[in-house]
Each structure stands twice: as C-alpha cells, then as structure tokens.
RNA sequence: GGGCGAUUGGCUCAGUUGGUUAGAGCGCUGCCUUCACACGGCAGAGGUCAUGGGUUCGAGUCCCGUAUCGCCCACCA
C-alpha cells in the first residue's frame, strides 16, 4: 500500500477505531505478569452527566501515557469504568422512568416501567431501581464509548465495570465487612453535619465553605444572684432556646470572675453556666460566646469537652421542633414564646426571635451585618445543621495521630505528578478532624450488608450487627435475610431489622482499583495488575477519591493502590472561567472533534501542561490540525522521494540499516533525532507528555522546512544515504508522535509498514540511532541556518523561493565553516544556488545572497 | 489565619541542575501559487521576563520582601 494522491484527515477516526477494534490492538493480554503490566486506575465518568471538553482534556493525557507505556513494551491494563452509583444517577433514573426507590418494597420480577413516566412516581424496590439504572446506563455508556473511541482512547472495551453493578457492590460490601471485623469501621451516635434538604449526613470531604451574609446580634443574658448582665454576640439568635452555656477564654479578665456562675437566657429564662475554654476567642464579638446544641462545630467541641447537656431544637428537616427541649426552670411564658418559633425554618425562626428579643428589650443595639464562611454540603443549597444521629465511620486518622502519620507517609511514598500536588493531600490529611462518615440516609446506593437483632421488647440492638457470609455478597438487607433468621421475623420482637442506610459513593469508588482488578472475583487477574501503576485524576478530588482509595488499600493490603498519581488541571472556557453546567459555558467535545479532527483535539489537550489549568482554545486545535495534515503530506513526500521498493526490506535503503547512511548531513540530522528520542523518552517517563510533544513537534517542523528541502534533490538523484536517512527519520518520528496523534500516525504507518499497528511498534530508543549519536551535531543546524538565510534574502527581495541564486558569501567562524562544508552541495540544492559559494571569516554567521535578475515580464 | 501555584510581546503559553542576542503558536504586516502541503509555505515587526532588594564573573531561572490573580486547607460565636 502506498500513500494516496491527496491524503486527508477526513474519516480517519472511524476507519482506525474500527480497525483497532477488529484487530484487538488494545486488548489486554492477561498472560503477562505484574512486572510486564502497566495498570491504570481510570476515573469512571459519571454516566448520567454528559462529557465535556474537560473530560477529553484529562483522558487524552492518560491515553498518551498509556500508549507510550504500551510501545515501551508494557502490557497496558486500561479498563473504563462507569460511575452510576450516586445522586446524579438516582435523579436521572427517577425522572426518566418516573419511579422512586423504596427499599421497604419487595423485589418485583415482573416490573416494567411505563412507556411515559407517570406524574406520580411509582415506588419500586431497590433491586428494581438498580436494574432500571443498569438499563439506562447502557444507553449512556454507548454514547460515552462512542466519544472515547472517536477520540482514540486505547481502552480495552471488554473490561468495563460500573460502580453500582454486582462486582462493585460485592467488593464494596466485602471491604466494609472486613473493616468491621478488624475494627476499622465502627458506628457511633454523635452530632453530625446534616443537610436539611437531602436529609442526609454529610462527611468532611463533601463540605465546602461559602461566604454568606449574616449579622451579629448583641443579646443580653441576665445575671443571677445580683450579678451584672452579660452581652454576647451571635449570628444565630434562633438557637437561644438550644443554649447550654456561655464560654470565655480562661485568661479573659473581663469574664473570669463570672466563671461557674449562672446567667439566664433571654425570653426563656433558662439557667446556663458561664465557663472557661481555651477555644473562646477574646477578640471575637464581645469575647464571650453562647454554646448551643448545635450551632457549629466549635459548639460540638465545647459540648463534648465541657460535658454539657443536649438541648436540641432543630429537627432533621431544618425546622424548629414542635416541643422545646428540657430546660429545667424557665421564665413563666417560655413555652408560649417557643410555640411561636416551633415549626419555622431556621431562617424564619431567626427573624421572629429577633422581633421577640427587641420587644423584650434583650437586644442591645442594631444588628451588625457581616459576611462569614458557612459550611455547606457541596451539592446543597442551605447551610448545614448539626444533628445527633447514629452513623457508620471508617477510621482515617481524623481521630488518631498515629494513623494520620501513616497516611501522610503513604502520601510521601506516592509519586505525584506534578510533585507540588502532594501538598494538597498533606494539608487535607493534617486538617482532618473526624473519621470518615460513610453512611448516607438515602435509598439508592450500595446498602450496608447488615441487620440488627431486635430484643424481646422489639428494641434494636445496634451493638450486635448481623453480617452475612462473604459468599452471599452482594446482599440487600431490606430483601435478604440474615443467617439464622427467616423472613417472617423481619421487624418482629426477637427478629431482626435491616440497616436502613446506604454507603457514601466514595466508599465504593475508593475501591476502583480493586473492582477493576477483580479482587477476590478473579484472583488470577488481580495478581497481574494490583497494585496498579497510575491513578490519573483531577485535583479537586484529592481529598475524596485519592485519599479514600489510599485508606482502603492501606487497611486491606497494607500497600499503596498505585505508585504514581497524575493530577490534571481544570479546563477553563475561552474566557478563562472555570467551566460548569450552572454557568452554561460547558463546551461539548463532539463538535470540535468533527470540525478539527480527533488528533487536533488531542493536540490541544496534550499541549496543556500536567496539572496546569488550560483554556479551551480553538487556535491550538487548528495548530494541531495543521500538524496532522503536515504529517500526512510530509510523509507522503518523503515516501515518494524514497521511492517504492520491491524488496522485503521496505523502502529503498531502509533495510540496509545505518550502513547506507554515510553523508554528514544525514548523519547529523539523525544524531539530532537521537537526542530528541532521549528527551521525549525522559519526558514521558516523568509523565510530562506535553514536553515530549513539544520537542517532537519542534524537531518535525525543522525537519520539514530544512532537512526535506536540503536533501530532496540528492534523494531524487538516488542517494541511498538520503533515502535511508529519510526512512529512518520518518519511522522514528511517526512512533514519537503516535501517543499523541494516534490516527494520522497509524494512517501513514499503514502506507508502508504492512499490517502491523504503529501503536504496537516499539517506542524508539537511542540505541536504534547509536551509529549516529556521536556524529557532528553541528552540520544539520549549520546547513539549515544558511538555507534559512537564502530564504530570507529571497523573501526580503519579494522573490519566489524558486529564484536562482548566483552568488553566496558566507561569513562564518572556522568552526561553523567546517560544519557547513560537508553539506554544501545540499545547501546549494535546497537554496537553488547556481553560482559560487565563498567563505569569509566572521565572528557571527552572515550570508550575502545575490539573486538572479528577475525575468522581464512579457509586455501585456 | 496557614499553604500551594501563577505573573514572560495584543492573546495563549514554553523556557529542565543559572551560561552567548529570551522562544513558539495565534493575531498583525509583507511576500511566494515551488514538481508534499493554499486545510499551505517563507519571512518580518512586536518583550525594562509583575515589582523592590540580595547572591554571582553572569539571574526569566537561585534567596528574601511586596503586589495582583487563582486554588487548597483551617475550630468560621
């Protein structure tokens, strides 16, 4: 097969995607041992969303690394996962089918969703819900897979997994049960950050701070036994009924005389103590704070350390409870006043209580507006509250300095790319203040594989959870029955109940290496790929996905889950704003891929440095397209010059190896190519795909502009040296470009290298070019410089590049002249120098060029 | 409050242990339709490398400070 007359990029994506699929080019060979394998823990995209250019960006980086490793001879384990375990999928299934997950319902084998979703959502069992999810996800997966194939990801598509599928649920439940058995997972009844809209506990990793407007209200607490009143400032006056104490710093002389005396709360007249604690900040407000159960996380610390009572007023729905807490002695009308607040949201209650305080004269001065950071669930719309509830936790060092040190140590063991991303991990681990809360009060997800016995009175015995045998996993405790019980004992005294919660999605996705590798399900595969080599991911989920994956592997295998983590930057819209759905500035990738070509899209992505935020830039895509076209045309040209061959050696001279390459210019170019190979290889080895591409591209443009021009005359004339050098260079350059531009390189490869794929060809090594490595590097750039000077002269004279040159004087150092002379004929050829070339001494290169007189334009 | 990163021509960015005259691409200007490429080629103009000090024979690069921007973390009354 030879190059077509008019090579083109159109259709290469479809052509080669199917060809690779048919040939199994990227199929994982599971006969290889762990040492021969390069395993990648790919981020499973959320299937219910849509892919945008941000995905294209980071997945392209990973694919370039995968292709490099494959060409280096590693067998690349590169499976794709689909993340369908989580709120986005739950919502999508709900809306798409008009159903709602209700775990209390039995599994209905006959259930089929209505053609059109009904107005009223149909409640279905968790198993039915998961099945609908599987069904819907298949459609999403196909769209995603099509995009990934069009982009040229070298994934083995036979090895996909989902995060809600059987394997994932089994792995997730198994890992949990083992942690429970080892004491790494535990349950606790404790104050927990709570989202009142999702009605769900939220972990530290899902928090974000938002600056919100608020106001300080100065409120008077009455002294008792003749003491003065004390004025506190609070942003949450609605929690006065939940007040259990006032607190000031132990050294604060304004308040130290009052420690261990009592004041009474305004409106309700509840007696609360004044107490010292080191966390009270004399600089804030009036220097003395009210402690409520619970206004913020500091309240929890005070409440715990000062052993204060609990007076809960906020319910899990974010409204004030119907009844006041246990207050002891109160003002006579305390209950009546509370009744005015009961049932109101925190915000409504605040407005009303401020009015009440104003009426009672307990409000001092006007409210002082401020803005301050408040904790939100990252997907939530209202500030988090703190409620007390029973939850499951996994130890993560948040309460154990020794364990925390172990995880910091793991972070240092891991190779980070770029290296400074480690500091994000460390600041997160160092800032942990609680264990990892993994239970979620939701219905869709991986359920806790646990039941609890009911005692003779029907009370739940949480202290003695019933766990299934591992062989039964995955189980759904709401429909499966614990060993030793029968289904009719569910909910009965002496029987059992299911744990009602599901696990945090991160509790499952923290096991992606184990799930993808077939942990326990496929021990043979697992032994060949785990622990893995690479975790590629975005920096904003270092504290969640990356950290939690390390936690799980540390406990289960006493190992890192991978040796390297490559952290990608953000993709910004063309105006350098972060892309997000809510801003509506998301760029969908299919359109630009069609417009510019997959290789061009990949070029844009690969030009984004590791870990650096990068703007969507059509300009870069155009440049990538131009490069792809240049590769086609230059290759076609080079192959044409080399000439066809009927020998099995391939193109003329190629099979003769380095022996045929004798001309100093050819050898110099190949010496320079050897340096490029070394540079690109080092760059890839350190995960710097961008530097590898940059260097290769730079070389390639010089190769086209200068080398091809210099040697084409000689090559046409039949120089074996030139032809073999061209073939060697082309062969090497195609392989260097292959990880970045898989389509166009494969296309050219197919013109002259038979049936094999460039993507299974060996990555170039300096040894291939060893014969030239010690040759004079200076010849090639010297020749290129003089050729460039000739071109410049023609350009400045506004003459065609075809113009003959009648005389050239080169001013150069002896050294440069020595480098130049062996290539002089090539320079004359390339520059169309028909006259003499003279040399003069000169410190710097200068070239005087005399052009042939222009032909007289024929009189018109 | 602590930390990380960034700051280089109009725009987007390279610049790897300090070493001639700081590089690309886009955009702009001019020219060339040449037997690979007009989805092109060749060439040109354009930079006090944020800022103030310091180290050095020599600093875009190393050290200290400052400013601006972005991000991460933090017990945020």
Give the mean model confidence (pLDDT) for residues A835-852.
88
Instruction: Spell out the residues 6+ positions from residue A49 whose beta carbon is closer than 8 angstroms to its own.
Output: A88, A581
pLDDT, tens digit (0-9, with 9 covering 90-100), for A682-734: 999 999 999 999 999 999 999 999 999 999 889 888 888 999 999 999 999 99
Check whether A647 has a pLDDT greater than 50. Answer: no
Distance CA A671 to C1' B36 in A: 24
- pLDDT given at position A605: 94
| Residue A282: nearest nucleotide (C-alpha to C1') | B77
> What is chain A's alpha carbon radius of gyration, rounded to the nearest angstrom?
36
A421 versus A210: the higher-pLDDT residue is A421
Angle at A672 between CA A671 and CA A673, to 5 degrees: 90
- pLDDT given at position A194: 94
Check whether A204 has a pLDDT greater than 60. Answer: yes
pLDDT, tens digit (0-9, with 9 covering 90-100), for A667-676: 999 999 999 9
Of A53, A50, A66, A34, nearest to A155 by C-alpha is A66
The token pair that represents A18 in the structure block: 């199917």
pLDDT, tens digit (0-9, with 9 covering 90-100), for A755-799: 899 999 999 999 999 888 778 888 999 999 999 999 989 988 888
pLDDT, tens digit (0-9, with 9 covering 90-100), for A479-521: 999 999 999 999 999 999 999 999 999 999 999 999 999 999 9
pLDDT confidence tier of residue A564, bands split at 50, 70 and 90? very high
Task: Give me the A residues in range 301-330 that sit within 7 A (CB) of strand B.
Answer: 301
Give backbone dihedrals phi and psi of A150, rounded to 5 degrees, phi first: -65, -35
| Residue A289: nearest nucleotide (C-alpha to C1') | B77
Does residue A704 reach within 7 angstroms of strand B, measured from its CB? yes
Task: Give me the A residues in range 79-108 that sit within 7 A (CB) of strand B.
Answer: none
| Residue A796: nearest nucleotide (C-alpha to C1') | B43
Q: How far is residue A349 CA from its own chain's centroid?
A: 41
Distance CA A571 to C1' B70 in A: 13
Contact (CB, 8 A) for A538 and A52: no
Task: Give me the A residues in range 466-505 that sit within 7 A (CB) of strand B.
Answer: none
Check whether A656 has a pLDDT greater than 70. Answer: no
Distance CA A617 to C1' B22 in A: 25
Taking the C-alpha atoms of residue A719 and residue A666, their distance in angstroms, rounded to an integer, is 11
Contact (CB, 8 A) for A777 and A821: no
Mean pLDDT estimate for chain A: 91
Angle at A800 between CA A794 and CA A802, to 5 degrees: 100
| Residue A608: nearest nucleotide (C-alpha to C1') | B13
Distance CA A572 to C1' B68 in A: 20
Check whether A653 has a pLDDT greater than 50. Answer: no
- pLDDT given at position A856: 56
pLDDT confidence tier of residue A466, bands split at 50, 70 and 90? very high
Taking the C-alpha atoms of residue A545 and residue A552, their distance in angstroms, rounded to an integer, is 11
Taking the C-alpha atoms of residue A138 and residue A136, their distance in angstroms, rounded to an integer, is 5
Classify residue A815 by burial, with Cβ atoms within 10 Å: 0-12, 13-18, 19+: exposed
* Distance between first and last Cα of chain A: 48
**Most confident listed range (A136-145, A326-335, A508-517):** A508-517
Check whether A860 has a pLDDT greater than 50. Answer: no
The token pair that represents A834 in the structure block: 């028909």
Check whether A646 has a pLDDT greater than 60. Answer: no
Q: pTM for this structure? A: 0.93
- Cα distances from A703 to residues A37, A394, A672, A709, in angstroms, run 35, 58, 10, 9
Of A545, A467, A521, A547, nearest to A173 by C-alpha is A467
pLDDT confidence tier of residue A582, bands split at 50, 70 and 90? low
Does residue A779 reach within 7 angstroms of strand B, measured from its CB? no
Query: Tell me, what DSSP letter sits at residue A807?
Result: E
Does residue A234 reach within 7 angstroms of strand B, measured from its CB? yes
- pLDDT given at position A581: 62
Helix residue ranges, H only, A717-778: 720-737, 742-752, 770-773
- pLDDT given at position A755: 83
The token pair that represents A237 in the structure block: 């006056």
- pLDDT given at position A543: 94
Contact (CB, 8 A) for A721 and A661: yes
The token pair that represents A363 in the structure block: 């409000």
| Residue A232: nearest nucleotide (C-alpha to C1') | B77
| Residue A706: nearest nucleotide (C-alpha to C1') | B42
- pLDDT given at position A652: 46
Q: Which helix (H) or strand (E) holds A100?
A: strand A99-101
- Among left, alpha and beta (phi > 0; psi -120 to 50; other), residue A636 is alpha
Distance CA A683 to C1' B16 in A: 10
Contact (CB, 8 A) for A532 and A40: yes
Contact (CB, 8 A) for A640 and A3: yes
Does residue A298 reach within 7 angstroms of strand B, measured from its CB? yes
- pLDDT given at position A859: 43
- Beta strands A161-162 and A368-377, pairing class: unpaired
Give the mean model confidence (pLDDT) for residues A428-446.
93
Contact (CB, 8 A) for A236 and A285: no
Check whether A437 has a pLDDT greater than 50. Answer: yes
Distance CA A647 to C1' B17 in A: 48
| pLDDT > 90: percent of chain A | 72
* Assembly ipTM: 0.94
Contact (CB, 8 A) for A92 and A129: no
- pLDDT given at position A583: 61
pLDDT, tens digit (0-9, with 9 covering 90-100), for A250-261: 989 999 999 999
| Residue A211: nearest nucleotide (C-alpha to C1') | B76
Angle at A653 between CA A648 and CA A657, to 5 degrees: 90
Q: Which helix (H) or strand (E) holds A17?
A: helix A12-23
- pLDDT given at position A580: 64
Helix residue ranges, H only, A686-801: 689-702, 708-716, 720-737, 742-752, 770-773, 779-796
Check whether A614 has a pLDDT greater than 50. Answer: yes
The token pair that represents A596 in the structure block: 């510019």
- pLDDT given at position A1: 59
- pLDDT given at position A665: 93
Instruction: List bases, strand B, within 7 Å of protein CB.
Output: 2-5, 12-16, 21, 25-27, 30-37, 39-44, 70-77
Check whether A574 has a pLDDT greater than 80. Answer: no
Taking the C-alpha atoms of residue A532 and residue A563, their distance in angstroms, rounded to an integer, is 7
- What is the four-CA torsion angle of A832, A835, A841, A842, rounded to 10 degrees? -40
Distance CA A513 to C1' B67 in A: 45
């Amino acid at each position: 097969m030879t190059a077509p007359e008019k090579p083109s990029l159109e259709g290469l994506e479809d052509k080669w995607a199917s060809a690779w699929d048919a040939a199994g080019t990227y199929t994982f060979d599971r006969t290889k041992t762990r040492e021969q394998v390069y395993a990648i823990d790919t981020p499973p995209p959320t299937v219910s969303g849509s892919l945008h250019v941000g995905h294209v960006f980071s997945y392209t980086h990973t694919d370039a690394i995968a292709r490099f490793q494959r060409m280096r001879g590693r067998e690349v384990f590169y499976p794709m996962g689909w993340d369908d375990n989580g709120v986005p999928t739950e919502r999508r299934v709900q809306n798409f089918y008009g159903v709602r997950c209700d775990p209390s319902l039995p599994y209905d084998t006959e259930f089929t969703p209505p053609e059109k979703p009904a107005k009223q959502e149909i409640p279905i069992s968790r198993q039915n819900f998961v099945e609908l999810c599987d069904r819907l996800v298949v459609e999403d997966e196909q769209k995603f897979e099509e995009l990934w194939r069009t982009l040229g990801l070298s994934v083995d598509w036979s090895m996909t997994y989902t995060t809600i599928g059987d394997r994932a649920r089994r792995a997730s439940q198994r890992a949990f049960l083992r942690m429970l058995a080892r004491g790494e997972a535990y349950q606790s009844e404790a104050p927990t950050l709570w989202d009142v809209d999702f009605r769900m506990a939220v972990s530290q990793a899902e928090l974000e701070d938002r600056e919100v407007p608020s106001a300080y209200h100065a409120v008077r607490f009455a002294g008792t036994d003749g003491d003065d009143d004390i004025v506190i400032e609070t942003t949450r006056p609605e929690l006065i009924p939940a007040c259990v104490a006032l607190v000031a710093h132990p050294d604060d002389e304004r308040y130290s005389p009052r420690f261990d005396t009592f004041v009474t709360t305004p409106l309700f007249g509840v007696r609360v103590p004044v107490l010292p604690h080191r966390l009270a900040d004399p600089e804030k407000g009036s220097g003395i704070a009210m402690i409520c159960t619970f206004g913020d996380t500091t309240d929890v610390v005070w409440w715990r350390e000062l052993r204060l009572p609990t007076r809960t007023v906020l319910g899990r729905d974010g409204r004030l409870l119907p009844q006041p807490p246990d207050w002891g002695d109160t003002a006579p009308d305390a209950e009546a006043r509370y009744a005015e607040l009961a049932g109101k949201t925190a915000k409504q209650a605040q407005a009303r209580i401020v009015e009440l305080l104003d009426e009672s004269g307990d409000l001092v001065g006007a409210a002082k507006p401020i803005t301050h950071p408040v904790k939100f669930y990252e997907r939530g719309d209202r500030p988090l509250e703190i409620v007390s509830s029973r939850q499951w936790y996994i130890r993560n060092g948040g309460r154990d300095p020794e364990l925390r040190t172990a995880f910091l140590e793991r972070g240092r063991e891991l190779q980070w790319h770029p290296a400074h991303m480690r500091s994000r991990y460390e600041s997160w681990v160092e800032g942990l203040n609680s264990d990892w809360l993994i239970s979620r009060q939701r219905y869709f997800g991986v359920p806790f594989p646990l039941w609890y016995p009911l005692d003779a009175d029907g009370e739940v015995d949480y202290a003695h959870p019933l766990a299934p045998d591992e062989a039964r996993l995955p189980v759904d405790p709401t429909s499966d029955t614990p060993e030793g019980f029968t289904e009719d004992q569910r909910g009965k005294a002496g029987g059992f109940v299911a744990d009602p919660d599901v696990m945090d999605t991160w509790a499952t996705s923290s096991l992606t290496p184990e799930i993808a590798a077939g942990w326990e399900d496929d021990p043979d595969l697992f032994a060949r790929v785990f622990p893995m080599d690479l975790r590629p991911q975005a920096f904003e989920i270092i504290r969640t996905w990356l950290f939690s994956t390390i936690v799980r592997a540390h406990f289960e295998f006493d190992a890192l889950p991978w040796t390297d983590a490559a952290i990608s930057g953000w993709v910004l819209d063309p105006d350098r704003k972060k892309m997000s759905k809510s801003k509506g500035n998301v760029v969908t990738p299919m359109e630009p891929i069609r417009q510019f070509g997959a290789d061009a899209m990949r070029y844009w992505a690969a030009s984004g440095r590791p870990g650096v935020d990068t703007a969507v830039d059509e300009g870069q895509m155009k440049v990538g397209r131009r490069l792809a076209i240049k590769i086609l045309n230059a290759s076609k040209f080079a192959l044409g010059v080399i000439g066809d061959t009927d020998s099995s050696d391939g193109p003329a001279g190629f099979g003769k190896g380095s022996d045929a390459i004798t001309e100093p210019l050819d050898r110099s170019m190949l010496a320079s190519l050897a340096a490029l190979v070394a540079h690109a290889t080092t760059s890839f080895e350190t995960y710097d795909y961008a530097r590898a591409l940059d260097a290769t591209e730079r070389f390639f443009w010089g190769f086209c502009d200068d080398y091809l021009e210099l040697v084409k005359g000689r090559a046409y004339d039949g120089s074996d040296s030139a032809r073999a050098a061209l073939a060697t260079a082309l062969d090497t350059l195609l392989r260097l470009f292959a990880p970045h531009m898989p389509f166009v390189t494969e296309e050219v490869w197919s013109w002259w290298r038979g049936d094999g794929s460039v993507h299974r060809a060996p990555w170039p090594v300096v040894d291939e070019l060893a014969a030239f490595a010690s040759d004079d590097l200076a010849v090639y750039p010297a020749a290129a410089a003089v050729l460039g000077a000739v071109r410049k002269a023609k350009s400045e004279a506004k003459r065609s590049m075809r113009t003959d040159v009648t005389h050239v004087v080169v001013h150069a150092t002896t050294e440069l002249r020595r480098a130049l002379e062996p290539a002089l004929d090539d320079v004359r050829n390339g520059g169309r120098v028909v006259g003499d070339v003279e040399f003069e001494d000169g410190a710097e290169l200068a070239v005087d060029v005399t052009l042939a007189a222009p032909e007289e334009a024929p009189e018109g």
